[in-house]
């Protein structure tokens, strides 16, 4: 009993990256295609894996030996394998096309990994600059400004407004800095918790789709995931209704999740996907509904969806680069304004003091 609890605890800790799952999927497809049994293939992949993933794969191997299907063993680890992943594997097992299904999943995971990398790279520069601003501002506040305050305390005459503001900031940081620091951390934690509430998420996600700078990125990310997920599921043989249900559950944005569920409800009533998406042009652009119309009429919907996924993935890359290009001058201007303000606040009274001393000596 203790051993079971320990094993369960080990399975629940750690993190399995997307690239780990992509490599596992590709290796599994190659080995099954070469004629190995699922049990043998899992044995090899478990030997190569490390950490939490090794424990998960060993547990899956034991379940397969006990007679369970590969999809069922993955269902037992639903936090590791998504609903989309498990559904495609299940269809592959039932239809005898598991190797092809795994290859499709490997491509899906690789594209998702590339998508996340694109987003991370786009946010890297602004985050680095923001951290630099905080560090420089903190260094000036702790080591420079307190010394300047003692110097300006003996200054005779009226201080410039910029200097007064700077000294006020120094005074606030000296007296309340520790409270501001911990208060900011608590506020950030509270905001993260608040924005993740089920009742708040739809409004927050709708707001994100209205902010000009980040709207294109969020929209293209969700469209890329929707089209690739749906295209992959249809290609694996799942019916459109079940595929839409699974894709809706995998979407992060509540606006898209709700819209896809509305499309699903309409399809169950006998409507075409194109006719349902057309009025939702703020969520699904006209190019999406028109291309899907072509796919439905030609009987090649999954191919059209994969094409759209590639298109929107390239748009995510462009939008991310545009974000970096737009934010770079804005952040540089902010840094320039902060530095300029500090310099003016320090230099102006010193200049006035030297001018006064010069007049008195003359």
Same domain for 287 and 171: yes
The average pLDDT across 5-33 equals 73
What pLDDT, in 10s, does the model give residues 94-111? 888 888 888 888 888 888
The average pLDDT across 254-273 equals 92
DSSP notation for 54-121:
HHHHHHHHHHHHTT--HHHHHHTTTTTS-HHHHHHHHHHHHHT-HHHHHHHHHHHHHHHHHHHHHHHH
CA 85, 89, 95: angle at the middle one, nearest 5?
A: 145
Q: What pLDDT score does 353 carry?
A: 65
Global pTM value: 0.74
Same domain for 75 and 30: yes
Q: Is residue 12 part of a domain?
A: yes
CB atoms within 10 A of CB 291: 19
Q: What is the mean pLDDT of the chain?
A: 82
Same domain for 206 and 121: yes
Which has more pLDDT, 254 or 117?
A: 254
Q: What pLDDT score does 255 carry?
A: 92
Comparing C-alpha atoms, which of 217, 158, 213, 247 is closest to residue 328? 213
Same domain for 116 and 37: no
Per mean pLDDT, which range of 207-221, 231-245, 264-278, 324-338 is the poorest? 324-338
Domain that holds residue 328: 104-362
Same domain for 143 and 34: no
Q: What pLDDT score does 1 carry?
A: 39
- Whole-angstrom distance, CA of residue 85 vs CA of residue 30: 17
Same domain for 317 and 262: yes
Q: Using the 3D structure, point to which of 46, 81, 116 is the last residue of a domain.
A: 81
Same domain for 69 and 189: no
Same domain for 117 and 45: no
The average pLDDT across 260-270 equals 92
Domain count, the chain: 2
Q: What pLDDT score does 259 carry?
A: 93
């Amino acid at each position: 009993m203790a051993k079971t609890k320990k094993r369960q605890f080990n399975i629940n800790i750690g993190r399995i990256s997307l690239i780990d799952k992509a490599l596992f999927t590709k290796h599994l497809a190659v080995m099954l295609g070469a004629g190995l049994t699922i049990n043998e293939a899992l044995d090899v992949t478990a030997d190569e894996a490390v950490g939490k993933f090794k424990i998960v794969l060993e547990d899956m191997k034991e379940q397969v030996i006990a007679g369970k299907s590969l999809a069922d063993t993955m269902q037992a680890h639903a936090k590791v394998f998504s609903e989309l992943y498990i559904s495609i594997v299940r269809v592959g097992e039932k239809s005898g096309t598991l190797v092809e299904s795994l290859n499709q999943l490997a491509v899906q995971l690789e594209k998702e990994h590339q998508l996340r990398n694109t987003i991370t790279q786009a946010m890297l520069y602004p985050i680095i600059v923001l951290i630099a601003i905080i560090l420089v501002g903190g260094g000036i506040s702790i080591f420079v400004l307190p010394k300047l305050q003692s110097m300006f305390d003996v200054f005779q005459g009226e201080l410039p407004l910029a200097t007064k503001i700077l000294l006020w900031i120094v005074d606030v940081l000296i007296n309340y800095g520790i409270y501001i620091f911990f208060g900011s951390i608590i506020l950030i934690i509270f905001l993260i918790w608040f924005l993740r509430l089920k009742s708040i998420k739809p409004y927050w996600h709708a707001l994100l789709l209205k902010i000009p700078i980040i709207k294109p990125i969020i929209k293209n990310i969700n469209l890329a995931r929707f089209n690739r997920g749906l295209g992959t599921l249809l290609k694996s043989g799942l019916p459109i209704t079940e595929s839409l249900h699974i894709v809706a559950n995998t979407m992060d944005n509540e606006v898209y999740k709700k819209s896809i569920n509305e499309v699903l409800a309409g399809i169950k009533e006998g409507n075409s996907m194109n006719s349902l998406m057309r009025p939702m042009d703020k969520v699904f652009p006209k190019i999406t509904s028109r291309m899907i119309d072509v796919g439905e009429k030609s009987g090649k919907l999954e191919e059209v969806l994969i094409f759209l996924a590639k298109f929107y993935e390239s748009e995510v890359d462009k939008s991310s680069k545009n974000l970096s290009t737009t934010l770079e001058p804005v952040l540089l201007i902010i840094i320039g304004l902060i530095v300029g303000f500090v310099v003016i606040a320090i230099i102006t009274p010193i200049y006035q003091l030297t001018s006064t001393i010069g007049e008195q000596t003359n």
